[in-house]
Amino acid sequence: MVQFFENLKVVELASVLAGPAVGMFFAELGAKVVKYENALSGGDVTRKWRLPGETELGPSAYYASVNFKKEVRLIDLSKSSDRAALTAELDDADLVISNFQPRVAAKLDLLPETLRKRHPKLIIAVIEGYADSDKPAYDAVLQAETGWISMNGTVDQLAKLPVALIDELAAHQLKQACLLALIHRERTNEGAVVRCSLESASLSALANQASNYLMCEAIPQPMGTAHPNIAPYGDLFQSAEGKKFLLAIGSDEQFAKCCAALGLELHNVVDFATNTDRLKNRHGLVAVLQKSFAEFSISEITERLDGAKIPFGMVKQLDQVLKSKTAIDLQREEIQEERRTIRLSGNAFTADFLDAD
């Protein structure tokens, strides 16, 4: 693969996940990424976020997931010599990524406007917590405060998404801003300050759920895997041997084909004829479909639904998922501080100009 950013130098002053994910995006595509970590605290806090029983050798698996192909240096910014070393590092840098709270950045003399004056061509990318507050922001807190947890799980058992999705969303938003800033600099020879808060990134990703409320005042309730606008979409079922799977029926035509594949006439029943009808009578619909599915093995269900081009998916555990060819192709290995680390690439796209000779 062509190292597209091989002439780009990135200085990463960020920790945890969102900022490091931005740095890793550029590192995977050939940029020189120098990651500075706080020597006084033992480095990025995620170094110690280990699973029970995980080896103490090298960084944690969590840390390894977003710190691939970086040059890591510990630094004590309370020392004038270390601050001078960082300033020198920034002299020929193209991009700096940070997630300092404003008061900390001011104390360290690393406010974006200060850096911009010193390094007018530098692109300064800032991850913030809240748009209008400097209180600490962590993924779980943002999942709660921006509505995600209220919509997940069930009424009796609310649930948090099992990855730090808000950090990932903010990282993707900030990557886009960095790329725009690089284009801007190419055109004008000027640097820029780009920002994204976890809060704003989380809100912008609410998509149809936000529009459902803004246009119809519909407040989503936790529905497990079910979709609020479509049925049967996301609804879970079990085969005769207890294998779990879900349907993703997106149209009346697909529903009719699904019924035909199962030998049912539900699409001609008034309560289930249209998507609106199926939403109103979802409980009864799921019960009838489950009774039918329980008569077939998962191989029979697969044959019937695949034959009818009906979208459905098995509920797989991660050990099954990571054995797929796609997952294996995305795996990356590296030796980090004497530990062999394995992660999935943060860049899932392909592009012909990256594969050129």
In a domain, 218, yes or no: no
DSSP string for residues in 195-216: EEEHHHHHHHTTHHHHHHHHHH
Q: At what angle do helices 298-307 and 252-262 cross, to 10 degrees?
A: 130
Rounded to the nearest 10°, the torsion over CA 131, 132, 135, 140 is -40
Statement to judge: residues 133 and 265 lie in one domain: no
pLDDT string in tens for the chain (357-residue length):
568 999 999 999 999 999 999 999 999 999 999 999 999 999 999 999 999 999 999 999 999 999 999 999 999 998 999 999 999 999 999 999 999 999 999 999 999 999 999 999 999 999 999 999 888 899 999 999 999 999 999 999 999 999 999 999 999 999 999 999 999 999 999 999 999 999 999 999 999 999 999 999 999 999 899 999 999 999 999 999 999 999 999 999 999 999 999 999 999 999 999 999 999 999 999 999 999 999 999 999 999 999 999 999 999 999 999 999 999 999 999 999 999 999 999 999 989 888 765
Same domain, 307 and 346: no
Q: Are residues 299 and 349 in the same domain?
A: no
- Is 160 found in the same domain as 71? yes
Rounded to whole angstroms, the Cα distance separating 228 from 215 reads 15
Which positions ≥6 away from 21 have C-beta within 8 Å?
66, 167, 168, 171, 346
Write the CATH number for 201.
Answer: 3.40.50.10540
**Is 101 in the same domain as 194?**
yes
Q: What tokens were used for 172? A: 């993707």
- The structural domain count of the chain equals 2
Residue with tokens 């040059």: 71
Question: Does 176 fall in a domain?
Answer: yes
In a domain, 222, yes or no: no
pLDDT given at position 2: 64
Residues 274 and 157 in one domain: no
Q: How far, in Å, CA of 277 to CA of 232, rounded? A: 11
Closest CA to 243 of 312, 162, 192: 312
The 3-state secondary structure of 40-61 reads: HHCCCHHHHCCCCCCCCCCCCH
Residue 252 Cα to chain centre, angstroms: 32
Range of the domain at 239: 233-315
Same domain, 86 and 193: yes
Pairing of strands 32-38, 9-13: parallel
Question: pTM of the full predicted structure?
Answer: 0.91
Instruction: Specify whether 80 is located in the same domain as 200.
Output: yes
Q: Do the domain assignments include residue 51? A: yes
The CATH code of the domain that includes 263 is 3.30.1540.10
pLDDT tens digit sequence for 287-313:
999 999 999 999 999 999 999 999 999
Scan for tokens 């605290």, then name that residue. Answer: 41
- Do 47 and 139 lie in a common domain? yes
Q: What single string gives the DSSP state of each residue in 224-264?
A: TT--SSSTTEEEEEE-TT--EEEEE--SHHHHHHHHHHHT-
- Range 206-215 contact pairs with CB under 8 angstroms and sequence separation of 24 or more: 206/146, 206/147, 209/147, 209/151
The predicted structure's pLDDT at residue 161: 95
What are the residues whose beta carbons fall under 8 Å from the beta carbon of 226, sequence distance 6 or more? 233, 234, 235, 282
Give the SS3 label for residue 80.
Answer: helix
- Answer yes or no: do 238 and 99 share one domain: no
Instruction: Give the residue from 122, 167, 163, 131 showing the smallest Cα distance to 20.
Output: 167
Crossing angle (nearest 10°) for helices 18-28 and 165-188:
50
- pLDDT for 288 equals 97
